[in-house]
Each structure stands twice: as C-alpha cells, then as structure tokens.
C-alpha cells in the first residue's frame, strides 16, 4: 500500500500503468473508495499512468475531525500530485469527486490537462438533504452506515443492473457500510456547503461531462447546467444511475479514453 504524508495524516493511493504515460487521477464518490474504479483500470492503464486515491475520510486514508470543505479535498489532490512530482494530470471525478474536479478546474487549472466530471453538479442538494443524513450518521455511527449501505442501491444503480449484477452492487455498498461515520459526515458537510454555480464558467480546460439518465442524485439537467457554463465542454449521457463508472464498465472507459486521446 502507498501513502502520501499530508500535514495531518496519510492519504492512501494506488498507481497502475506504464511509467512515463500521461497521468490520470481518479477521484471517488461519497461513501466509496478507490475500488469504485476497478472496472476501468485494465482499460485506462493501457494508455495512462493511473493514480487513484481514497478521498479524506474514506477507505484507508486519513480521517480527521470535520466538517471538511471541497477546497480542503482539492488541496489534498494537489498535495498528492506534488508528492508524486506530477506537474499536470488528467482528472476524472464522480459525484463528490466531480465537485473536487470543478474546484481544481476553477482554482488550479494550470495543473490539469483535461477534466472529466461524472454524475455531478455545481451544487448537489441543500441543507434539507444533507442535514438529516449528517445527524443520522453522527448519532447512529456504524449502524447508521450499514443502513445507508442498504438504502444506497436504489440511488446508485438502475433496477435491472442491481438485479443482474448483485455481486458488483454488494461490493460497492459494503464499502459504504464500512466507511468511517466521522469521515462520511465530514464529507457530507463538504458537499452540502459546495456551491460552484457562479464559478464553473471560469473553467477553461477541455471538459467532458458524463450523466446517467436514471440518476436521481445528480440529474442530466445538472449535467446540462455544467455544459452550458463550461465553454466548449462535451456531454454524454447513458442509461445508468449515479455510479455510472460501475454500471457502464467498459462503455465508460472507452468514452473517457476517446476524450482524453482526442
């Protein structure tokens, strides 16, 4: 296992792909870890030096006292790039990872080649959505995380995918159930407080937006908002729910690779 030492703890990461290839950073969604990208690694690592990491509060990365901010999570990515001596990279983030990608595009575009924003929005929900969830997790601890894991299936996957790929669904929801309640609640606060609607227009790097037609969390309309405000950006929508990378598998990989190599 590989870790980068931050000022307040260790950030867990993993690298695959040929040395010297363009670097592609993958950023996980809320309640998952770097394994949410497992279906993409065989394909991505043919053309890219793939760096995937566990966002603060998740997986094997540091869990510090919250609340966190998207800026804080974005600066963790910059610290990771600095530690690996990577001057510029492609960045692909899903949901919360997409918010981190937007922050990087706004505030650190000089560190990016191209940007992929998946199943995300310039603002994801509001206090009425996140407040009760944060309270539930802070009060209920590990048991609340298990309940969230069981309830995530309908948000994260289309019904037919959940029916036909129960093993893949369980692998992802088990990670949510095992996520640190402290880290999860702190990241919920980061997503709750992030509102980039007035800033995304300043993103100038080439951007691809990926949406799921059955995503009730970050809708296709949210994707079109990003497309309309990020000059020259492309949008692709697919039959999928919120975790499109898991549900689409190779289709997702091929679209991202096509965009990055074009």
Each residue's pLDDT tens digit, 35-54? 999 999 999 999 999 999 99
Backbone angles phi, psi at 201, to 5 degrees: -65, -15
Q: What is the pLDDT of residue 194?
A: 98
* Secondary structure (3-state) at 6: strand
* Rounded Cα gap, residues 60 and 52, in angstroms: 12
CATH code for the domain defined by 2-261? 3.40.50.1820
* Rounded Cα gap, residues 2 and 150, in angstroms: 30
Residues 62, 253, 173, 98: is their CA dihedral positive or negative?
Answer: positive
Cα atoms found within 13 Å of the Cα of residue 49, Cβ hemisphere only: 12
Region of 98 please: left (phi>0), alpha (psi -120 to 50) or beta. alpha
* Rounded Cα gap, residues 116 and 256, in angstroms: 8
* Secondary structure (3-state) at 34: helix
Locate the domains of the chain by residue range.
2-261
pLDDT band per the 50, 70, 90 thresholds, residue 6: very high
- What's the predicted TM-score (pTM) here? 0.98
Q: What is the pLDDT of residue 15?
A: 98
Backbone angles phi, psi at 72, to 5 degrees: -60, -45
Q: What is the pLDDT of residue 105?
A: 98
Under a CB-based contact definition with an 8 Å cutoff, are residues 4 and 80 in contact? yes
Query: H/E element holding 12?
Result: strand 9-16
Cα atoms found within 13 Å of the Cα of residue 140, Cβ hemisphere only: 15
Instruction: Evaluate the omega torsion of the peptide bond into residue 59 and state whether it is cis, within 30 degrees of 0.
Output: no
* Secondary structure (3-state) at 15: strand
* Rounded Cα gap, residues 21 and 89, in angstroms: 10
End-to-end Cα, the chain, rounded Å: 33
* Rounded Cα gap, residues 73 and 128, in angstroms: 23
**Nearest CA-CA partner of 202 in 116, 109, 129, 134:** 109
pLDDT tens track for 208-250: 999 999 999 999 999 999 999 999 999 999 999 999 999 999 9
């Amino acid at each position: 296992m590989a870790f980068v030492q931050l000022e307040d703890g260790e950030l867990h990461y993993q690298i695959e792909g040929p040395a010297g290839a363009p670097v592609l950073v993958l950023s996980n969604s809320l309640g998952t870890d770097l394994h949410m990208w497992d279906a993409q690694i065989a394909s991505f690592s043919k053309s890219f030096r793939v760096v995937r990491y566990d966002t603060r509060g998740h997986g094997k990365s540091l869990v510090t006292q919250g609340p966190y901010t998207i800026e804080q999570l974005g600066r963790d990515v910059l610290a990771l790039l600095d530690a690996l001596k990577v001057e510029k990279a492609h960045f692909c983030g899903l949901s919360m990872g997409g918010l981190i990608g937007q922050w990087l595009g706004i505030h650190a575009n000089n560190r990016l080649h191209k940007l992929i924003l998946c199943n995300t929005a310039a603002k994801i929900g509001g206090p009425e959505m996140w407040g009760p969830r944060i309270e539930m997790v802070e009060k209920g601890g590990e048991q609340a995380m298990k309940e969230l894991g069981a309830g995530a299936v309908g948000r994260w996957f289309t019904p037919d995918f959940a029916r036909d790929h129960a093993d893949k669904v369980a692998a992802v929801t088990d990670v949510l159930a095992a996520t640190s309640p402290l880290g999860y609640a702190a990241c919920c606060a980061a997503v709750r407080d992030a509102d980039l609607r007035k800033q995304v227009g300043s993103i100038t790097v080439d951007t691809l937006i990926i949406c799921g037609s059955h995503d009730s969390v970050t809708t296709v309309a949210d994707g079109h908002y990003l497309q309309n405000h990020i000059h020259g950006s492309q949008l692709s929508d697919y039959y999928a729910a919120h975790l499109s990378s898991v549900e689409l598998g190779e289709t997702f990989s091929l679209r991202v690779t096509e965009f990055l190599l074009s």
